[in-house]
Structure 1
Amino acid sequence: MPLITQLKGSAFLAFEEKQDWLVDELCTCFGADKSELDFYGSLIYWKNAPAQEIKPFWCSTVYFEPFTLEFQSVSEAAAALKQIQRNWAPYQFTLFRRASLIQDKLPYINLKPRNFPYSVPQTQIGAWTLIDEHTIFASGRTSSFLPCGRIEFVEDHENPPSRAYLKIQEALVHFQAFFGDFPREGQHCFEAGACPGGWTYVLVQLGCSVFAVDRSPLADSLMQNPKVKFLAHDAFTLKCEDIEPVDWVFSDVICYPERLLEWVKMWLARPKVPNMICTIKMQGETNWETIKAFAALPDSRVIHLNYNKHELTWLHKGSAQA
C-alpha cells in the first residue's frame, strides 16, 4: 500500500540555472537559513516556510501543500497520484526512466512547446518529483497553471531578427493571463530600445503599429515595414508628452533598474496610462529595494520569464486605451 505523508512548509522550484539566486532570495527576503533548506535538484524544500503563501521571483512554481508518497511499483505510484487529482506535471532531476514510466501512466498533459499566441489554462495542475526509487515528493496545489510554471514556444529560426521575440511572446501570454488584455489589430505601440527588432517583429505580426526608438536601426525588413516608424534617439530622453498617445509601451533597454523606475513613473503620471511591459535588467547583485518598488506600483506584476536571463519583467495594466 502506498504511504502518503503530509509535510510542513513549501517547496520552491527554481528556474533553470537560477537556483543560487532563489536561495539568496529565500534567505534575504523571506528569512530562510540555508542550513534548513533541502535540495532535490532545482527543487528547494523549506519546512519552515511562512504560513502565508509566498511566490519568490526566481521560482517557477511553488509546491504549496507538499507531501511524500512512498510506493513499491510504477503502477502504484501513478494510481496514488490519480486518486488525488487528474493533472500532474513532472520535474525530474534523477531516475529519469522510472519517472517517465510513471508519467506515462498518468492522464495526458501537453508538455510540448506551444504555438504563439497561447492562452494559459485555468485548471489547477500539480507537480511531482521522484527523489529516490520508491519516493515521490509532490503537491497537488501549486502557484501556476502551467506545467512546473514554465512555458516554451515553437521557435521560428528564420524570420525574427533576434531571439528576444520569445521573451515578448511569453510576457504577452502572462499579461493576458493576469489582466485579460492582449495587443490587437490597429493598436499603437511605443518601444524603447527596439534594435534589432525582436519585440517589434512580434507586435507587427499581431497587427499593431510600432513607434520604435533606438540609437541603432532595426533589421532592414522592419525598417521597410509600413507599420513601423523608427527614430534614431535615446528613448529615455524623450518625454512622454512628446509621443503621440499609444495603447502599449515596451522597453527592453539595458539600464540600471533605478533609471527604469524613474522612466516608468513618468508614464504612470499621465492622465491616460497605457499598458506597459518592461524588462528589469539586473546590474550585478539583485537590487531588492528597487524590485519591491516596481512590485508595489498599482495594477502591476513583477515576474521572471522562462526566457529571461538575469532579468525580471514588469507588467502594468493601464488605466485607459489611447
Structure 2
Amino acid sequence: MASPIEQLPGWVYQALPEFVDHLEKELGSWDNQWGPLYYRRIPTKAFWVQNIWLNPFMAHFTSISEAARLLKSIQRNWAPLLVRNFRRGQLIQEQLPHIPLDKPREFPFVVPPAPMGAWTLLDEHTLLASAHTTSPFPGGTIQFVENKIDPPSRAYLKLQEALVRLGAWPGPGDLCIDAGASPGGWTWVLTRLGAQVIAIDRAPLAPHLMEHPLVRYVKHDAFTLKPQDLGPVDWVFSDVICYPPRLFGWIEQWLSLGLAKNYVCTIKMQGDPDMETTARFAAIPGSTVVHLSYNKHELTWLYRHPGESTDRPEGKAVFPVPMTEEPLCK
C-alpha cells in the first residue's frame, strides 16, 4: 500500500551556495528551511536559485524499498538533494531508475521532455519531494565536456548551457549579433554551429576568430549602435559587462523594432543584485530569467519568439563578408 502523501501549498526554493543572501532578500520570509531548501507557502518569483520545486509534498515511509516504490509510482526521473541521512538516501536512489546525475554532456543536446523530479530526506522516515521543478537538469545543475584548447575563454560553457535551456540554437544560414564578444568564447560556439556572426567589441577577438570566414568583427561599443543599423538578424547575444539598466534599454530598442527573434543576454550585477531591472526582464512576455550553472554574479535572460520562422527576412545581410574594424555607423 502506498504511503500517504501530504501535498504542500507553495514552492520549495533550492538556494545557490554562494548566493544564499540574494535568495533570502528575494523571498523576504519563508515558512521552513531544510539546509539549502527554503519553503514558502505563498509562492513568489525568485531568480537567485539553483532550482524551484513547484509541487512539493511530504511522505512518510517505513523502509527504503517503500520510499523507492512511492517515487517510482509518480514518475520515472528523480534526482536526490541529500542534506542528511546520506547513506539511507543513496540506498533509495539505487532502487530508482538510473539517470546520469553528474555525467558531463556533449553540446548540443536536446533535453528529454520527461519531467525531472527532486527529493530529499527530512529524517529517516520522511521524504520531501516534487515531481516538477524549474530546472530540466538533475539537481538543477549541468556539466559539459570541456574543450580546453580551442575556445578563447570559458564563457563558451555559459552560452552552451543557455542554448540547451532555451531548447534552440542557431544553425547554418542564421545571422547573429554577439555584443561584448571579445575574446570570442560565444562567437566560437556560434561558428561551430555554422552560424554567421557580427562580433562587436572594442577589444579584438582571438586571432583564429578574427580570420574566421563566418565572423565579421566590428570595433565598437555595441550599445551605441542602433538596431536598425545591424538588423534584421536571427539572434542577439550579449555578454557585455555593464549595469543592467543599460542592457535593458538596448534590448527594449530591439524588441520595439522587431529586428530579432531570439535573445540570450547576461545580466551582470555590479555590487548588490539589481532586483528591479531583473523583474523588468522577467516581465517581457515569453521570457525566462535564470541563474545558470556556469553563471557567476549574474543572471541570464532567455527569449525565443513563439512565432519564429526559419525563413530569412528580406534584406538581411548574408555572409561571408570581409572582416572589418570600421564602425557600422558614426
Distance (Å, rounded) in 2 between the aligned partners of 1:7 and 1:270: 44
Contact 2:228 2:259 survives alignment (8 Å): no
Q: 2:123 aligns with which of 132, 136, 159?
A: 132
Deviations 1:264-311 (A, max 9, x none): 112123253342211111122222221122122244322221211121
Distance (Å, rounded) in 2 between the aligned partners of 1:45 and 1:231: 48
The corresponding residue for 1:40 is 34
2:38 matches 1:49: no
SS of residue matched to 1:280: strand
Structure 2: segments with no counterpart, 5+ residues: 314-330
Hey, which bits of structure 1, 4+ residues long, moved more than 6 A?
none
Distance (Å, rounded) in 2 between the aligned partners of 1:135 and 1:162: 45
CA shift for structure 1 position 61: 2.7
CA shift for structure 1 position 9: 3.0
Distance (Å, rounded) in 1 between the aligned partners of 2:111 and 2:149: 26
CA shift for structure 1 position 16: 4.1
The corresponding residue for 1:223 is 210
Distance (Å, rounded) in 2 between the aligned partners of 1:81 and 1:271: 46
CA shift for structure 1 position 214: 1.0
Distance 1:227 1:123, change over 3 A: same
The corresponding residue for 1:197 is 184
CA shift for structure 1 position 116: 0.8
Distance (Å, rounded) in 1 between the aligned partners of 2:266 and 2:33: 30
Contact 1:15 1:306 survives alignment (8 Å): no
CA shift for structure 1 position 55: 4.8
Distance 1:125 1:175, change over 3 A: closer
Q: How does 1:88-237 map to 2 (within 5 A)?
A: 88-111=78-101, 112-176=103-167, 181-237=168-224
CA shift for structure 1 position 220: 1.6
Distance 1:58 1:244, change over 3 A: closer
Among all aligned residue pairs of Structure 1 and Structure 2, give the percentage whose two residues are the same amino acid: 53
Deviations 1:133-183 (A, max 9, x none): 33321122333433233332222222211110011111111222xxxx420
Contact 1:192 1:251 survives alignment (8 Å): yes
Distance (Å, rounded) in 2 between the aligned partners of 1:316 and 1:143: 16
SS of residue matched to 2:257: coil
2:12 matches 1:22: no
Name the amino acid aligned to 2:20: Q
Distance 1:78 1:299, change over 3 A: closer
Distance (Å, rounded) in 2 between the aligned partners of 1:126 and 1:268: 35
CA shift for structure 1 position 41: 2.1
Name the amino acid aligned to 2:47: F
Distance (Å, rounded) in 2 between the aligned partners of 1:268 and 1:163: 29
The corresponding residue for 1:30 is none
Distance (Å, rounded) in 1 between the aligned partners of 2:117 and 2:83: 17
CA shift for structure 1 position 231: 2.0
Distance (Å, rounded) in 2 between the aligned partners of 1:141 and 1:206: 31
SS of residue matched to 1:283: coil
Name the amino acid aligned to 2:304: K
Give the length in aligned residue pairs: 307
TM-score normalised according to structure 1 size: 0.87
SS of residue matched to 2:65: helix
Higher mean C-alpha displacement, 12-21 vs 167-176: 12-21
The corresponding residue for 2:280 is 293
CA shift for structure 1 position 197: 0.8
Contact 1:282 1:311 survives alignment (8 Å): yes
SS of residue matched to 1:145: coil
Q: 2:243 aligns with which of 229, 235, 256?
A: 256
CA shift for structure 1 position 98: 2.5
Name the amino acid aligned to 1:14: A
CA shift for structure 1 position 93: 2.4
Distance (Å, rounded) in 2 between the aligned partners of 1:6 and 1:300: 29
Contact 1:82 1:106 survives alignment (8 Å): yes
The corresponding residue for 2:268 is 281
Contact 1:187 1:208 survives alignment (8 Å): yes
TM-score normalised according to structure 2 size: 0.85
Structure 1: segments with no counterpart, 5+ residues: 28-32
Deviations 1:6-33 (A, max 9, x none): 3343211123423221111111xxxxx2
RMSD of the TM alignment (CA)?
A: 2.2
The corresponding residue for 2:322 is none
CA shift for structure 1 position 201: 0.5
The corresponding residue for 1:62 is 52
Contact 1:70 1:136 survives alignment (8 Å): yes
Distance 1:271 1:21, change over 3 A: closer
CA shift for structure 1 position 131: 2.6
